[in-house]
Structure 1
Amino acid sequence: MDGDRRPGASVQGLPAAGHHCTSASIGGAAPGLILYSAALDLSSTIGVLMLMGIVCKNSILLVDYAIEARNAGMDRRSALLKAGTTRALPSS
């Protein structure tokens, strides 16, 4: 970590990303379960929990990528657009 930055400054937007990802993942899983008339049993509950973890991790990485781009000198709009397009690409 650089000496000129405050410790923990790069995680300032992460709590908001963590709170919104749980409702977003449940909001995506519930219609799928209803659409296919699937029961909410142990395997689907594990799947929903895994989806929540993936969505939360992606949102945290997206916010962190935007913060790092801002720290590199980009303006807010450019940093958000770059973070969104970069994180939307599949990893290879």
Structure 2
Amino acid sequence: MNEINMVIPENFAVDEADEFREQINNLINKGEKFFTFDFKNCKFIDSTGLGVLVTIYKKCNELNGSVKLYSVNDPQVMKIFNLTRLDKVFGI
């Protein structure tokens, strides 16, 4: 099991999320399916960023892989995960 660790950008919105999605999709196409996303720098996430995470989570689940999130330290970012109940999905 080879786990890929990636740091989420400070502002995880439209432009950054699209670029991130491309990077992860390329890795998935190469056979990677275990990811750990580090939120230590993230200060903002919008619906696009959340959508990217959910899509990646679903793809990896279908491939018997996993997505883990950690260091969600910013209270506003954590609030978004709580409000959307994605904290339960990702086990934050």
TM-score by length of 2: 0.31
Structure (1/2) with the larger strand percentage: 2
Structure (1/2) with the larger helix percentage: 1
The higher radius of gyration belongs to 1
TM-score by length of 1: 0.31
